């Protein structure tokens, strides 16, 4: 679909009427503004709110007994949520644990799986990675007494937007001990070929892990089937578990029994933890990669959110997500012609994530104008506007309206009244 005759508001309303996920929109607290920033923070659901209130009530009524009694005993809560999360990434329930944050979990996994020996001392990442991954890998190298300038290989982008799998594979030399990559590049929304890259790494005797922050909850994965060694992700974007919610990690079962690089008492086997022995008996699952006491009030919203993911398959969510982003891109190509925009994300369905990435030299000011006009976008330096229609709560009509508003901003040049300077939080 690329003809303007098929890109009408009436057609968008027709798509909404046919949407089998439409009822889930009522599950969320919608903002007065049109929300297109779910790739940074998902909206609050009524079920997430209820889960928090239920957790507060259990604390109120049970006190310390809440650790082992009640509907969801806290001592096993991370494992309960892991079981509910496993289908999001195509893993066994014992291969996932809900714990820590993105950066803490990368530190944990790198401390476990990055074992420089002899000339195999390098780590492959990309120059387009989210900065926290690079910071964590650099600090892990320093702990080994290694210079990141020498040992961290950042694969270059050919165009400043995308990373070619061939270039990553070429970087997998016999000096590489570990590869850590994003599933989806956070700026351009490019979806990497996880299966291909995993196979290439293993053919060369290299371990490989993935940052799934910009894909989990929007894109189906098959981490176990593909043999991915480890992965980690946040739950506050497409999984809608709230600001700063507890993250998750995955470890392939073939690595069970390995001592975690960063051990703590929640690494223990559950039946041994309260023996208080000074010799760790690590859990023989991804649970071993927990460190400290779970943050119960930050875990609670995830329960309500995951209930909806159990009702709707990732395949259905992906189908709608692709439909929304395709509709948005078609509208942009027709309505915003010759206005200085470039669609930076891949066009192919199997190559893009859950957001549309627009480049424009006035991106900062355009984002400010969009907010004034009632649309919440996301800016990423230096010139990117990210727009994320989320399958659970965004409609096709909203996508149509957002592009019309953007068109009016450009025609009227209303963005020119804003300062060309990003806010502290972009």
Q: Is 265 annotated as a binding residue?
A: yes
Answer whether 269's CB lies under 8 Å from 281's CB: yes
Q: Is 102 annotated as a binding residue?
A: yes
CA dist., res. 241 & res. 234, Å (int): 9
Active site residue 237: yes
Catalytic annotation, pick one of 47, 80, 161, 237: 237
Answer whether 50's CB lies under 8 Å from 72's CB: no
Q: Report which secondary-structure segment, H or E, holds 170.
A: helix 165-170
Q: Is 211 annotated as a binding residue?
A: yes
Catalytic annotation, pick one of 35, 114, 236, 289: 236
Q: Is 130 annotated as a binding residue?
A: yes
CA dist., res. 109 & res. 179, Å (int): 12
DSSP state string for 56-118: HHHHHHHGGGGGTSSSS-GGGHHHHHHHHHHHHHT--GGGEEE-S-HHHHHHHHHHHH---BT
Q: Report which secondary-structure segment, H or E, holds 10.
A: helix 9-17
Answer whether 29's CB lies under 8 Å from 43's CB: yes
User: Is residue 265 helix, strand or coil?
Assistant: helix
Catalytic annotation, pick one of 37, 129, 211, 330: 211
Strands 384-387 and 378-380: antiparallel
Active site residue 271: no
Q: Is 233 annotated as a binding residue?
A: no
Q: Is 114 annotated as a binding residue?
A: no
User: Is residue 153 helix, strand or coil?
Assistant: strand
Token digits for 277?
Answer: 């022995």
Q: Could you tell me which residues come within 8 angstroms of residue 180 by beta carbon, excluding any fewer than 6 positions away?
A: 106, 110, 123, 124, 125, 133, 137, 208, 209, 210, 211
Q: What are the residue ranges of helices labelled H in 312-380? A: 314-335, 363-372
Active site residue 236: yes
Active site residue 76: no
User: Is residue 207 helix, strand or coil?
Assistant: strand
Token digits for 352?
Answer: 């893009």
Q: Is 266 annotated as a binding residue?
A: no
Answer whether 237's CB lies under 8 Å from 213's CB: yes
Q: Is 341 annotated as a binding residue?
A: no
Q: Is 132 annotated as a binding residue?
A: yes
Based on its alpha-carbon atoms, the radius of gyration of the chain, rounded to whole angstroms, reads 22
Strands 248-251 and 230-233: antiparallel
Question: What region does 205 belong to: left with phi over 0, alpha with psi -120 to 50, or beta?
Answer: left
Q: Is 202 annotated as a binding residue?
A: no
Residue 97's nearest CA partner among 209, 230, 208, 218 is 230
Catalytic annotation, pick one of 11, 75, 76, 130: 130
Q: Report which secondary-structure segment, H or E, holds 4.
A: none
Catalytic annotation, pick one of 386, 392, 393, 396: 386
User: End-to-end CA distance of the chain, in Å?
Assistant: 33
Q: Is 210 annotated as a binding residue?
A: no
Residue positions annotated with a catalytic role:
130, 211, 236-237, 386
Binding-site members for pyridoxal 5'-phosphate are 102-103, 130-133, 211, 214, 236, 265, 293
Annotated binding site: 102-103, 130-133, 211, 214, 236, 265, 293
């Amino acid at each position: 679909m690329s003809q303007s005759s098929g890109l009408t508001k009436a057609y968008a309303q027709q798509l909404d009427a046919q949407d089998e996920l439409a009822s889930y929109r009522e599950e969320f607290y919608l903002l007065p503004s049109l929300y297109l920033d779910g790739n940074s923070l998902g909206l609050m659901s009524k079920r997430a709110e209820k889960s928090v209130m239920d957790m507060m009530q259990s604390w109120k009524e049970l006190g310390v007994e809440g650790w082992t009694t009640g509907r969801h005993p806290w001592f096993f809560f991370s494992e309960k949520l892991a079981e509910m999360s496993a289908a999001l990434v195509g893993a066994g329930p014992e291969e996932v644990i809900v714990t820590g944050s993105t950066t803490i979990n990368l530190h944990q996994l790198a401390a476990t799986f990055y074992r420089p020996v002899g000339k195999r001392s390098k780590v492959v990442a990309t120059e387009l990675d989210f900065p926290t991954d690079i910071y964590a890998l650099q600090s892990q190298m320093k702990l080994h007494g290694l210079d990141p300038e020498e040992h961290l290989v950042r694969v270059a982008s050919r165009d400043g937007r995308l990373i070619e799998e061939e270039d990553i594979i070429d970087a997998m030399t016999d000096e590489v001990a570990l590869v850590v990559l994003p599933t989806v590049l956070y700026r351009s929304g490019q979806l990497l070929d996880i299966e291909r890259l995993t196979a290439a790494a293993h053919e060369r005797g290299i371990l490989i892990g993935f940052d799934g922050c910009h894909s989990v909850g929007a894109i189906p994965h098959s981490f176990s089937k593909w043999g991915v060694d480890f992965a980690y992700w946040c739950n506050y974007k497409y999984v809608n578990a709230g600001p700063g919610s507890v993250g998750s990690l995955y470890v392939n079962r073939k690595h069970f029994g390995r001592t975690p690089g960063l051990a703590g008492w929640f690494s223990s086997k559950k039946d041994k933890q309260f023996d208080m022995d000074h010799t760790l008996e690590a859990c023989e699952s991804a649970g071993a990669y927990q460190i400290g006491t779970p943050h119960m009030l930050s875990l609670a919203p995830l329960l309500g959110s995951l209930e909806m993911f159990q009702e709707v398959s990732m395949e259905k969510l992906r189908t709608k997500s692709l439909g929304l982003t395709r509709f948005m891109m078609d509208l942009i190509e027709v309505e915003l012609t010759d206005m200085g925009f470039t669609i930076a994300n891949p066009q192919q369905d199997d190559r893009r994530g859950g957001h549309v990435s627009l480049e424009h030299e006035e991106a900062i000011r355009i984002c400010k104008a969009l907010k004034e006009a009632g649309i919440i976008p996301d800016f990423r330096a230096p010139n990117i506007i990210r727009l994320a229609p989320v399958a659970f709560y965004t409609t096709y009509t909203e996508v149509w309206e957002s592009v019309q508003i953007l068109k009016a901003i450009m025609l009227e040049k209303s963005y020119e009244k804003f300062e060309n300077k990003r806010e502290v939080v972009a």
